[in-house]
Amino acid sequence: MNSLILRTTTMLLITILLLFSVFLLLRGHDLPGGGFIGGLTAAAAVALYVLAFGAQAANDMVRVRPRALLGVGLTAAVAAGLIAVLFGTPFLTGHWLIIDLPGSAEVKLSTVLLFDVGVYLVVVGTVLTMLFALEGQ
Amino acid sequence: MLSAVLAAFAVALVAPLLAQRLGARAGWWLALLPAGLFAWYLTYLPAVAAGESVLEATAWVPRLGVTLAMRMDGLSLLMALIVTGIGVAIVIYAGGYLKGDPALPRFYLILLGFMAAMLGLVTSDDLISLFVFWELTSITSYFLVGFKHQYADSRASALQALLVTAGGGLAMLAGFLMIIAITGSTSISGLIADPATLLASPLLPAVIVLVAIGAFTKSAQFPFHFWLPNAMAAPTPVSAYLHSATMVKAGVYLLARLAPVFTGEPLWVWLLSLIGAATIVAAAGLSLFRRDSKALLAYSTIVALATMVMLIGLGGEYAGTAAVVFLLAHALYKAPLFMVAGSVDHEAGSRDITALRGVGRAMPFTWAAALLAGVSAAGLPPLFGFVAKELALEALLDTRAWLLVPFVGAGAVLLLIAVLVAWRPFAGREIQAPKAVHEAPLSMLVGPLVLAGAGVVLGFAPYLVGDALLVPAAAAVIGAPYAFDLYLWHGLTPALGLSALTIALGVLLTWRWRALHDALRARLGDSRVGPAGVYQRFIDGLVPFAQAFTRRVQPDDLRTHLTVITAVAVLATGLTGLVKGSLRLGLAHTPGYFYEYLVMAVVVAAALAAVRAHRRLPAITALGVLGFGIAIVFVFFAAPDLAITQFLVETLIVIIVALVMMRLPRHSLREEDNRAVRAVAATVATLAGLLIASLTLAVTAGPLDARVSDFFAAESYPSALGRNIVNVILVDFRAIDTLGEITVLVVAAVGVYALLRRRDRSRDPHDVEPPRGSAASDGGDT
């Protein structure tokens, strides 16, 4: 698809969409969002890029092999579960580290978040693996 | 005990690295593992000799009540010492036998892994962990039999061994699960201590048969005996270790372990003694056809195992004692005989006993080991094998004398095989062999000589192991302590007379062997009858059947594929619903807002448009509209997470399907199908729609059980620190489900990748590094 309008809008949208996907991932525990939704959003953003510029260009932009995301994501999710085991609790129990910041802000780090990041990466990796494989022929 | 098994696994894992580092001396160094374990197991000897059994339980899945319980009693200790003691000899021997083989590091990994699994098997006190170790030994055996995987024979034999033993393992698992369901416990020692519940159950015959099938397949009993001679495709150290001394004894071990539970049950007694007797007859008869030294030894192993099965089935104090003594004696003579046969093959170039003569002149030490082990195997005094055979004869005389007929015949055949393997190729004035014969290297002499020597020492002094080891081991089989003394000389008893008869028959058989062997081969040859033929026909038929079935229900045509899946799902669910009468529909009407009707109208219109579309792009677009309509319904009912996911999935599906369609030929959807195909598709689709609609109505008809959702709503913030219940369920409450789902995603993605990549390997954008500086806009114009 050799469309100037599509390419121009894609260049504008891609950054926002990818940032938005991370935003969705991070806020997911309290508000609509999460790893699945964030991952799908990021994948949709790359899909848009594929439509506008082709798979080769999209692949250059993503830089990592989508298959590597699959492995890293699954490892992160399992690691989140194993951290709980290290604490002597059953596999996949949530452990939290809450850091208070000046003002009333706080940062909540958790194995649950790590797990959700794993979900995010697997979802992105799955869709992109399929997209690139389809377009790569 | 668990730590010993884990340590063995750990060493097995690093063994390939060590083997590469140490080169030719690797065998000697790696033998330190079994040697160390042997010494460690010996420390249990005082406690076991005192009649105690040492228990050790480690929580595994505490919520489910699964523990890794290990137990050391006489029988376990005897097996553990055999596994580690013979393991030392085998690891050293393998270093010489497979010297220079580039796959030797891998060989050590699997061999030591097998040893670890076997140790786990014989010290497990839990039915489930015993099963896991049991199957691990089958799998390692598969890799070891198929070690020379470049040969089709090796691969077929490995697969056969795996299918038979693992298939039997599944039968055994079914039996175990029945035991667990009946008694409510997985503990083996608990079962032995209190078998009353199990014995009173109407399922008892099924339990006995299933467990026995597991043991019979593993120990190569009739009609599953055929895999063991074929497993001789494995390198000789494997045959000596797995297929004579240890793994094939796992079946015997299991029967011995459970003997106190079932002893006296008529089915148990008859099943074991009859199968044992039948196996003896079959294997003894079949061995007469063979002239390959390893195949002959395999048949003699089957005969020996069958003898133990028979003795365990008979039960009682004599038979239990005899089984245990025979177990040790057999391990001590059969492993060296295999190693000797392997050495001859290695140094003289053949395993055909008719092709070899006078090899002993060049290989005096190998011959010495062969003779010592052979005399014990033949059941001649003054070796340990004789002590074992005398006990077995007395046990049979004591209980069911008619079983003496197969046993005496078996004794004659065992003597024949011992002569054929340990005497015939070595004796003679002139050397006849396919290649120049040398004595085997030290590494291939130590094991056979030491093990065969142990048979001599124990023949003269059986009390060395009697009270400390064999009495507690026999007590585990009998179910009660029973003190006995082992003697070489029992006096002029009926058993001695039978022994003499056995030897006389054996000598006669040996004298006429060549004529008998040639006549049998000429008459019957390699006819494919019996269980081996059944197995072959089963395997030959299985693949064509699977192919035909797959072509029928999962053809390349995607629509047929989907039609079959949907039709099966609809029929299975729908018929169940109708038969059980559970499809009670709630048809109460609740008026909705006008915009809800509007969205519904759009959804219906989109569905009709999709069905009526002539070309693919309009069809998929219509489906996309339908999906978005449903997502809007989720928005109405305040399910934002669901709605967002649905929107994104619909978008991606349209994009991916559009990409797929670009590769398909352009023609009308209608032209491809005739009326009949469309009619079937329409019927299945309509039924599926009706079913889903009625299921939805049926579910909403009843009151919703809100306990789970109330719990999630109440606990979401207090226990999981999250306010979005959907996400908390996904990543915390039911995180293990999510873990399963993303694993499925990964598998699916890899599958898609492999399928698409297979068509065209050369043009793959992820693997071909793009030339530097190529502008992004140069990407493929699709």
- Mean pLDDT, residues B593-613 taken together: 91
Instruction: Let me know how long chain A is.
Output: 137
Tokens of B236: 């000789």
Cα B157 from Cα B20, distance rounded (Å): 29
- Mean pLDDT, residues B47-65 taken together: 80
Give the C-alpha distances (Å, rounded to integers) separating B27 from B15, B110, B115, B239: 10, 14, 15, 17
Q: Do A135 and B724 touch (CB under 8 A)?
A: no
Q: Report DSSP state, residue B364.
A: H
In chain A, the residue whose alpha carbon lies closest to the alpha carbon of B760 is A137
When computed from its CA atoms, the radius of gyration of chain B, rounded to whole angstroms, is 33
Q: Across the strands, what pairs with B56?
A: B70
Q: Do A133 and B756 touch (CB under 8 A)?
A: yes
Instruction: Dump pLDDT digits (tens) for B11-29.
Output: 888 888 888 888 778 889 8
What is residue B523's predicted lDDT score, i.e. its pLDDT? Answer: 78
Give the C-alpha distances (Å, rounded to integers) separating B197 from B182, B188, B281, B602: 7, 14, 37, 64
- Mean pLDDT, residues B711-725 taken together: 85
Is B781 an 8 Å CB contact of chain A? yes
Chain B residues 632-651 with CB within 8 Å of chain A: 640-641, 644-645, 648-649, 651
Q: Do B779 and A81 touch (CB under 8 A)?
A: no
- Mean pLDDT, residues B737-745 taken together: 94
Give the pLDDT band (50/70/90) at residue B615.
confident
More confident residue, B488 or B565: B565
CA–CA min distance A58, chain B (Å)? 8
Give the C-alpha distances (Å, rounded to integers) separating B124 from B75, B128, B254, B461: 12, 9, 11, 31
Q: Report DSSP state, residue B352.
A: B
- Mean pLDDT, residues B326-334 taken together: 90
Instruction: Dump pLDDT digits (tens) for B426-479.
Output: 888 877 778 888 888 888 989 899 998 988 888 888 888 877 888 888 888 888
Angle, helix A111-135 to helix A4-27, in steps of 10 degrees: 160
- Mean pLDDT, residues B615-631 taken together: 89
Is B534 an 8 Å CB contact of chain A? no
Is A129 an 8 Å CB contact of chain B? yes
What is residue B556's predicted lDDT score, i.e. its pLDDT? Answer: 76
Return the H-helix or E-strand segment holding B60. strand B54-61
Tokens of B212: 């026995």
Is A85 an 8 Å CB contact of chain B? no
Return the H-helix or E-strand segment holding B66. strand B66-72
- What percentage of chain A reaches a pLDDT higher than 90? 47
Tell me which residue of B222, B143, B130, B127 sits closest to B177, measured CA to CA: B127
Q: Do B652 and A127 touch (CB under 8 A)?
A: yes
Q: How much is the mean pLDDT over chain B?
A: 85
**What is the three-class DSSP state of B427?**
coil
CA–CA min distance B61, chain A (Å)? 9
Is A13 an 8 Å CB contact of chain B? no
Instruction: Dump pLDDT digits (tens) for B647-705.
Output: 999 989 888 888 888 777 766 565 555 778 888 888 999 999 999 988 888 887 777 77
Q: Which of A56, A96, A130 sits opposite B765 (nearest CB)?
A: A56
Is A42 an 8 Å CB contact of chain B? no
Q: Across the strands, what pairs with B54?
A: B72
**Ramachandran angles phi, psi of B684, nearest 5°:** -60, -45
- Mean pLDDT, residues B324-328 taken together: 90
In chain B, the residue whose alpha carbon lies closest to the alpha carbon of A33 is B641
pLDDT at A97 over 70: yes
Q: Do B766 and A65 touch (CB under 8 A)?
A: yes
Q: Do B731 and A43 touch (CB under 8 A)?
A: no
Cα B650 from Cα B644, distance rounded (Å): 10
CB atoms within 10 A of CB B192: 17
What is residue B777's predicted lDDT score, i.e. its pLDDT? Answer: 37
Least confident among A53-57, B527-531, B749-753: B527-531
* 3-class DSSP string for chain A: CCCHHHHHHHHHHHHHHHHHHHHHHHHCCCCCCCHHHHHHHHHHHHHHHHHHHCHHHHHHHHCCCHHHHHHHHHHHHHHHHHHHHHCCCCCCCCCEEEEECCCCCEEEEEHHHHHHHHHHHHHHHHHHHHHHHHHCC
Residue B433 near residue B359, CB atoms below 8 Å: yes
pLDDT at A129 over 50: yes
Tokens of B143: 């890799």
Q: Which of B641, B745, B759 sits opposite A137 (nearest CB)?
A: B759
Q: Which of B645, B730, B749 sits opposite A125 (nearest CB)?
A: B749
Residue B231 near residue B274, CB atoms below 8 Å: no
Highest mean pLDDT among B321-325, B588-592, B776-780: B321-325
Tokens of B302: 């089957």
Q: How much is the mean pLDDT over chain A?
A: 89
What is residue B316's predicted lDDT score, i.e. its pLDDT? Answer: 82
pLDDT at B776 over 50: no
Q: Look-up: residue for tokens 């330190």?
A: B32
Contacts of A85 in chain B (CB under 8 A): none
CB atoms within 10 A of CB B59: 10
Give the pLDDT band (50/70/90) at residue B774.
very low
pLDDT at A133 over 90: no
Cα B212 from Cα B203, distance rounded (Å): 14
Q: Which of B732, B742, B781 sits opposite A54 (nearest CB)?
A: B781
Instruction: Dump pLDDT digits (tens) for B576-600.
Output: 888 887 777 767 777 888 888 999 9
- Mean pLDDT, residues B598-610 taken together: 93
Tell whether omega for the bond before B223 is within 30 degrees of 0, i.e. cis.
Answer: yes
CB atoms within 10 A of CB B578: 10
Residue B393 near residue B461, CB atoms below 8 Å: no
Contacts of B664 in chain A (CB under 8 A): none
Q: Do B753 and A7 touch (CB under 8 A)?
A: no
Residue B222 near residue B278, CB atoms below 8 Å: yes
Q: Across the strands, what pairs with B66?
A: B61
Contacts of B656 in chain A (CB under 8 A): 47, 127, 130-131, 134
Residue B96 near residue B123, CB atoms below 8 Å: no
CA angle in degrees (0–180, nearest 5) for B23-B27-B30: 105
Is B749 an 8 Å CB contact of chain A? yes
Residue B292, judged by CB atoms within 10 A of its CB (0-12, 13-18, 19+), counts as: middle
What is residue B764's predicted lDDT score, i.e. its pLDDT? Answer: 46
Give the pLDDT band (50/70/90) at residue B759.
low
Is A11 an 8 Å CB contact of chain B? no
Tell me which residue of B145, B88, B140 sits closest to B110, measured CA to CA: B140
What is residue B772's predicted lDDT score, i.e. its pLDDT? Answer: 42
Q: Do A96 and B721 touch (CB under 8 A)?
A: yes
Tokens of B675: 């009326």
- The total number of structural domains in chain A stands at 1
Q: Do B752 and A36 touch (CB under 8 A)?
A: no
CA–CA min distance B585, chain A (Å)? 33
Which ipTM did the prediction report?
0.93
Residue B7, judged by CB atoms within 10 A of its CB (0-12, 13-18, 19+), counts as: middle
Contacts of A133 in chain B (CB under 8 A): 752-753, 756-757, 764
CA–CA min distance B639, chain A (Å)? 9
What is residue B356's predicted lDDT score, i.e. its pLDDT? Answer: 85
Q: Do B766 and A67 touch (CB under 8 A)?
A: yes
CB atoms within 10 A of CB B706: 9
Is A135 an 8 Å CB contact of chain B? yes
Which of the residues A120, A126, A131, A132 would you substitute to probe the B interface, choosing the one with the greatest number of B C-beta atoms within 10 Å? A126
CA angle in degrees (0–180, nearest 5) for B751-B757-B760: 155
Residue B462 near residue B487, CB atoms below 8 Å: yes
Whether pTM exceeds 0.80: no
Cα B697 from Cα B588, distance rounded (Å): 10
What is the maximum alpha-carbon separation in chain B? 108
Cα B95 from Cα B30, distance rounded (Å): 9
Q: Report DSSP state, residue B360.
A: G
pLDDT at B380 over 90: no
pLDDT at B553 over 90: no
Tell me which residue of B400, B226, B215, B408 sits closest to B311, measured CA to CA: B400
Which of the residues B645, B659, B731, B781 would you substitute to probe the A interface, choosing the one with the greatest number of A C-beta atoms within 10 Å? B731
What is residue B779's predicted lDDT score, i.e. its pLDDT? Answer: 35
More confident residue, B24 or B413: B413
Q: Which letter, b or e, does each residue of B361-375 get, where b requires 16 or more Cβ atoms within 10 Å of its Cβ?
A: ebbebbbbbbbbbbb
Q: CA dihedral in degrees (B214, B220, B223, B224; nearest 10)?
A: 70
Cα A71 from Cα A95, distance rounded (Å): 23
Instruction: Dump pLDDT digits (tens) for B398-409.
Output: 777 788 888 888
- What percentage of chain B reaches a pLDDT higher than 70? 94
Instruction: Dump pLDDT digits (tens) for B477-528.
Output: 888 888 777 777 667 777 788 888 888 888 888 888 888 888 888 777 666 5
Cα B84 from Cα B35, distance rounded (Å): 7
Q: Do A56 and B648 touch (CB under 8 A)?
A: no
Q: CA dihedral in degrees (B586, B590, B595, B600; nearest 10)?
A: 20
What is residue B639's predicted lDDT score, i.e. its pLDDT? Answer: 85
Q: Which of B730, B757, B760 sits opposite A34 (nearest CB)?
A: B730
Is B747 an 8 Å CB contact of chain A? no
Q: Which of B640, B742, B780 sits opposite A122 (nearest CB)?
A: B742
Which of the residues A65, A128, A130, A132 would you substitute to probe the B interface, choosing the one with the greatest number of B C-beta atoms within 10 Å? A130
What is the maximum alpha-carbon separation in chain A? 57
Residue A128 near residue A46, CB atoms below 8 Å: yes
Tokens of B570: 């609809």
Handedness of CA B672, B677, B682, B687 (dihedral sign): negative
Handedness of CA A17, A18, A19, A23 (dihedral sign): positive
When computed from its CA atoms, the radius of gyration of chain A, rounded to whole angstroms, is 17
Instruction: Dump pLDDT digits (tens) for A69-82.
Output: 999 999 999 999 99
Handedness of CA B176, B182, B186, B189 (dihedral sign): negative
Contacts of A129 in chain B (CB under 8 A): 749-750, 752-753
What is residue B527's predicted lDDT score, i.e. its pLDDT? Answer: 60
What is residue B263's predicted lDDT score, i.e. its pLDDT? Answer: 85
What is residue A14's predicted lDDT score, i.e. its pLDDT? Answer: 93
pLDDT at B780 over 60: no
Which of the residues B66, B634, B642, B648 would you substitute to probe the A interface, choosing the one with the greatest number of A C-beta atoms within 10 Å? B648
Residue B121 near residue B5, CB atoms below 8 Å: no
- Mean pLDDT, residues B523-549 taken together: 80
Domain containing residue A68? 4-136
Cα B168 from Cα B694, distance rounded (Å): 44
